Amino acid sequence: VMLPLYFCPNNSIAFRGGDDLFFRLIKRSRHVGQAGDLAFPGGILHESLDSILMKLITGGMIPILRNKAGRLVRKRDALSYRTITLFLANAVREAWEEIGINPFHVHYLGALPPYSLHRHRRTIFPLVCYVNKQQRISTNHEVEYIIDIPLAAFFDAENYASLSTEVDADTNIPGESREVLPCLIYKDGQ
């Protein structure tokens, strides 16, 4: 998945009326699995399409890696470099398909630790990218709507709470069926 960061100069999206960085989430539509979930743009690898896009990225035709983070990725061992650039190609393709992010305006900043979903038996590889040009949003059928959250919202203790979840007994997840997790409460007007 791509965690897209944008800079928003003093306008209606900015937190408390000032300039701010924000990231974009999608609410998954009823037409796809995990309907109603909030997520970053992304999806399952499409080996042939993502391999082609990976070659355009590693060859420099799409300038995502033309920065310090890109230079650091290039210094990694061959397997790590291939893995990161393949998942980056996947995240870029999915972000383009789902919300219209133009790959030529994306700059790779780094990878976050992978996270395994137990219920859906998937592993998420989050990649942080800066999108340097705000563009018109164009969603596809997978997206119900978009939520922009200013990073400043994460630094206000009043925005945090605890969320208690119950896991279905048929999920075969070892351990307790109830979990209490920290969560961010952010009102976006939707």
pLDDT in tens, 144-180: 998 888 888 888 899 999 988 876 655 555 555 778 8
Return the number of other C-beta atoms located less than 10 Å from residue 137's C-beta. Answer: 13
C-beta of residue 88 within 8 angstroms of C-beta of residue 96: no
* pTM, full prediction: 0.83
Confidence of residue 11 (pLDDT cuts 50, 70, 90): low
Query: How far, in Å, CA of 53 to CA of 128, rounded?
Result: 18
Degrees, nearest 5: CA angle 101-105-111: 80
Both tokens assigned to 49: 């399409």
Closest CA to 38 of 11, 90, 3, 84: 3
* 47-89 pLDDT tens trace: 999 999 999 999 999 999 999 999 999 999 999 999 999 999 9
pLDDT value at 13 more than 50: no
Query: How far, in Å, CA of 53 to CA of 158, rounded?
Result: 42
153 to each of 59, 79, 157, 160, 184, how far by Cα in Å? 38, 37, 9, 9, 8
